[in-house]
Every structure is written in C-alpha cells, then in structure tokens.
C-alpha cells in the first residue's frame, strides 16, 4: 500500500510543524503502554496549549471522546498517515562526518520509516568505506554519484551534513538528479529551484530558546531577591 | 556587562521560538553585507508570513521604517539581547559520541555565544581523552563529575547526547548539581523538577515536515496527471 496524504491539503503550516511533536509524545506514551490520552495530557507533554492541541487534531478529522480522550494508537496512525510516514521515505546523506554518522545511528529515523539508502562524501579517505546502517552495511560513495543515484536508487530526500563551504555544491548535485526535498544541516543559506522543497535544521535554535527562559528566570530571581 | 532580558517577559512562546529563526537569517544577510531588510524579505527567508514577522518584531519594541525596512545590525542586537545571547552561556555536553562531537564542532554554537566548558562520558575508554573545542582543548570527564562541576564551572545549561538508556541518569546528575536548563537530544522522555527548564531536540522532526510537503506534492502531481 502506498499511503497518500492528499486529503490533508488544507492543514496550516504551524499545525504541520506540530504534528511530529505530538507524534513523538504519542510514541513515548505508547512505549509506556498508555492507550488513551486527553488533550490536556498531550498539551503538558508537548508544551502546546490544550485548545491548540484539539484544534490541530481536528484537522485530522479526529475529535477524541469526551471524558476519555484520544486513542493513542489511532492518533499515531492518523498522524503518520497525514505526514506520509506510512510510506517509506528513501533518504541519502551527504557529508559523513560526526553529524552524518550521528544521523545514521539515530533511532528516531528508523522508527519513522525514514530509510537511509545512500551515504556520500568527497573525502577520498572516506569514499569506499563500509558503514553499518541498522542491519545493513552501506559503502560511502563519492558525491559525484549523487546525480545518477537520485533516480537509480529512487531517493526522495537528500540530507546535507557537509561543511558550509560545499553545501551548495552538494545541493546542486541533488537537484540535478531530480530530488524532491532537501534537508540542510549546514549553517548556511542554500538556493534551490522553487519546485524542490528545502528545509533547514539549526542545532543551536533550541539552545537559544532555552537561554531565553533560563535568562528570564535569572532576572525574575533577581527581582524577587531585590524585593525581599 | 551582563545583559538582562527581564524587559521581555511578556513575549508569547511562539514568538520566542521564531526569534532564533529570524536571527539565523539576519546573520546570513549580515554576512552578505546586507544592511536593511523588509518584513517581506525576512518572511521569504524564514517561511513565516510577513504580518507575523512584523508582529513578532514589535515585541522587541521595533517597527522598522516604512519603505526602508529594518536595520539588520540593529535587529541582530535586539534579538540577541532578548534571547540573552549578549551574555555568554556556559554549556556542558554529556555523551561524546558522534552527536556530541558534532555539537562540539558546530559553528552555529560559538557564533551565538554558547561556550562549551565541559565534556562528559561514562565510557572508561573515552574519559581522559583530549578533545579540541574551538581554540581550546577539553579533557573528557567521567559523568560522576557532573554534579560538582555545575557549580564549580558555573554551567548554565547541560546538553544530553547520550543513548536513551542513560539519559535520565545524566539528567539527574545535572539536576543534583543545580543546573538551570537541560537540552535533551536523546529520543526519550526525561523527568526533571519544575524549576529546571527542559527542552528536547528531535532530529527527525524537520525530516517529517519535509515528508509531508513532498508527499502532498506527489499527490497533487498525480491528481493533475489524472485530470490531463
């Protein structure tokens, strides 16, 4: 079966961004054998307010049962269906340094049907080396292979974990091969044609958000001390 | 000077979450020697709509100049001030595997005054090893040291990049030392006291969001082909 998420066309961007967050909490609950969850609980787990949780989930056509809440397994299926995660996404990773290797070993990927199908690097020392990916072993290929591989290996999404200086070159190779989406971890701006979906991950963003709240508490503590 | 962000107490959570995203784009523009930016440009760079950009920035007390836009340097300063990034955050990293090492080398950290002050692991093979951190060299310490180090090294934030199975143990050590904030990269739920700020990074979230949009486009393409 190839899952389709065509029926979910009109979901707001902000809701789409929160669905993986709900999914993460729901998978955690499911691991703890929790079978139902209220919007309040899901709100507490995810840091989103309960009204927003209910509104977001209503886009999936799901309203829960009063006094019981939502079925955890059912909700996992619906979010997976909506995000297209019932389909296997075929992913390539270019840049097999520490971050590339961290992604290869990341438990959260295989859990969500994201299959790593190819690894690329431009370093002759790395090209040809075998890397364990789950139960398989992949050989690192030269970035030259990206263009041909996108079609040959049916890659949907290209991940970039290279240094910033070569990220655009790698992006161009993915694009030349006809990739549909690119996920960029390099801290630089990439230009791709409009018909290629591009998203960027900045590993320092959550740390900055945390800094805001810690700093605010510091300031509050000082204010309280001053008032004492 | 110690920066204070106490005047920014009433900023909505969603705005706080977007400020680092604006900051990233502004730093990119600044690198390209761009000195002013319109809300529309900033919207296009960040994928947030222009009205929301203007609203978010208004919380910083900044409204731009009609027909000119915002000063890039000024806005960088204001966001840094608000996020407490004019202050140096002192950070420890526990779990020096691939992800821990990737963070050590991450350019985005030092750019944002996040200083890595200590590295921890529980593997006797790793403890005692020197690791280059920017221009300094840090020696990996045993996780046993975390509790004492939080105060001794004045750590503000503890990062966890360990396997899920030991993440709670490491969190407990940070908490016992009196840490203010924890950033968890392990794909598991952690419990910490209410007065400790906890945030979680799920590396697969952006990939899932990308999957949604790629999948939706697939479906639209099929619909168009069927209609042809």
pLDDT digits (tens, 9 = 90+) for B136-165: 899 999 999 999 999 999 999 999 999 989
Q: Residue-wise over B48-85: b if at least 16 C-beta within 10 A, else e? A: beeebbbebbebbeeebeeeebbbbeebbebbbbbbbb
Say if residues B160 and B170 touch (Cβ distance below 8 Å).
yes
- When pLDDT is averaged across residues A61-78 and rounded to a whole number, the result is 87
Share the mean pLDDT of chain A. 86
- Looking at residue B71, its pLDDT comes to 92
pTM assigned to the model: 0.77
Is the pLDDT at A88 greater than 70? The verdict is: yes
Say if residues B4 and B86 touch (Cβ distance below 8 Å).
no
Lowest mean pLDDT among A33-47, A99-113, A162-176: A99-113
Across the interface, do B204 and A108 touch by the CB < 8 Å criterion?
yes
- Looking at residue A36, its pLDDT comes to 93
Residue B2 pLDDT grade (very low, low, confident, very high; cuts 50, 70, 90): very low
Q: How far is B224 from chain A (nearest CA, A)?
A: 12
CA distance A168 to B228: 36
Identify all chain B residues contacting A19, using CB atoms and an 8 Å cutoff.
208, 212
- pLDDT single digits (tens) B169-183: 999 999 999 999 999
Name the more confident of A33 and B215: A33
Strands of A66-215, DSSP E: 70-71, 89-94, 114-121, 130-133, 136-139, 141-142, 157-160, 181-184, 197-200
Q: How far is A19 from chain B (nearest CA, A)?
A: 8
Q: How far is B67 from chain A (nearest CA, A)?
A: 25
Name the more confident of B139 and A221: B139
Read off the DSSP letter of residue A69: B
Q: Which of A97, A212, A220 sits opposite B83 (nearest CB)?
A: A212
Residue A44 pLDDT grade (very low, low, confident, very high; cuts 50, 70, 90): confident
**Residues ≥6 apart with Cβ < 8 Å to A102:** B97, B98, B99, B102, B203
Backbone angles phi, psi at A142, to 5 degrees: -70, 150
- Looking at residue A9, its pLDDT comes to 58
- Looking at residue B224, its pLDDT comes to 60
**Residues ≥6 apart with Cβ < 8 Å to B148:** B177
Most confident range, picked from A36-50, A51-65, A144-158 = A144-158
Across the interface, do A216 and B8 touch by the CB < 8 Å criterion?
yes
Question: Which of B55, B108, B207 to probe by mutation at the A interface, max A CB count within 10 Å?
Answer: B207
Is the pLDDT at B192 greater than 50? The verdict is: yes
Most confident range, picked from A18-22, A172-176, B23-27 = A172-176
CA distance B161 to B186: 6
> Which residue in this structure is represented by tokens 């761009």?
B34
- Looking at residue A141, its pLDDT comes to 98
Say if residues A134 and A105 touch (Cβ distance below 8 Å).
no
CA distance A12 to B177: 42
Is the pLDDT at B1 greater than 60? The verdict is: no
Is the pLDDT at B41 greater than 60? The verdict is: yes
Q: Which of B5, B105, B211 sits opposite A89 (nearest CB)?
A: B211
Q: How far is A209 from chain B (nearest CA, A)?
A: 6
CA distance A54 to A32: 23
- When pLDDT is averaged across residues A150-158 and rounded to a whole number, the result is 96
Identify all chain B residues contacting A107, using CB atoms and an 8 Å cutoff.
164, 187
Is the pLDDT at A113 greater than 60? The verdict is: yes
Identify all chain A residues contacting B219, using CB atoms and an 8 Å cutoff.
4-6, 9
Percent of chain A with pLDDT over 70: 89
Task: Please give the structure tokens belonging to residue A17.
Answer: 């961004």
Percent of chain A with pLDDT over 90: 43
Percent of chain B with pLDDT over 70: 89
Q: Which of B6, B112, B218 sits opposite A208 (nearest CB)?
A: B112
Across the interface, do B157 and A206 touch by the CB < 8 Å criterion?
no
Is the pLDDT at A228 greater than 60? The verdict is: no
Q: How far is B195 from chain A (nearest CA, A)?
A: 9
ipTM of the assembly?
Answer: 0.72
Across the interface, do A180 and B156 touch by the CB < 8 Å criterion?
no
CA distance A132 to A137: 4
Share the mean pLDDT of chain B. 86
- Looking at residue A61, its pLDDT comes to 84
What's the burial of B130, exposed, middle or buried (CB within 10 Å: 0-12/13-18/19+)?
A: exposed
Across the interface, do A206 and B201 touch by the CB < 8 Å criterion?
yes
Q: How far is A30 from chain B (nearest CA, A)?
A: 12
Identify all chain A residues contacting B203, using CB atoms and an 8 Å cutoff.
102-103, 106, 108-109, 201
The angle that helices B39-46 and B50-58 make with each other, rounded to 10 degrees, is: 110
**Beta carbons within 10 angstroms of residue B33's beta carbon:** 7
Closest CA to B72 of B112, B102, B39: B39
Name the more confident of B30 and A170: A170
> Which residue in this structure is represented by tokens 């203007």?
B54
């Amino acid at each position: 079966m190839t899952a389709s998420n065509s029926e979910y066309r009109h979901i707001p961007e902000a809701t789409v961004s929160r669905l993986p967050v709900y999914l993460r909490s729901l998978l955690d609950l499911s691991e703890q054998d929790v079978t139902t969850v209220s919007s309040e609980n899901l709100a507490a787990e995810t840091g989103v307010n309960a009204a927003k949780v209910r509104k977001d989930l209503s886009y999936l056509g799901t309203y829960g049962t009063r006094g019981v809440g939502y079925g955890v397994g059912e909700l996992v299926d619906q979010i997976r269906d909506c995000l297209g995660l019932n389909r296997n996404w075929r992913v390539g990773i270019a840049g097999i340094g520490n971050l590339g290797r961290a992604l290869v070993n990341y438990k959260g990927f295989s859990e969500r049907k994201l299959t790593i199908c190819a690894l690329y690097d431009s370093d002759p020392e790395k090209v040809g080396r075998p890397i364990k990916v789950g139960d398989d072993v992949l050989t690192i290929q030269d970035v030259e292979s990206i263009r041909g591989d996108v079609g040959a290996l049916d890659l949907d999404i290209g991940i970039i974990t290279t240094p910033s200086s070569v990220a655009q070159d790698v992006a161009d190779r993915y694009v030349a091969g006809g990739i549909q989406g690119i996920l960029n971890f390099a801290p630089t701006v990439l230009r791709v044609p409009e018909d290629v979906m591009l998203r960027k991950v900045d590993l320092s963003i959550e740390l900055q958000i945390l800094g805001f709240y810690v700093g605010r508490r510091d300031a509050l503590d000082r204010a309280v001390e001053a008032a004492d």
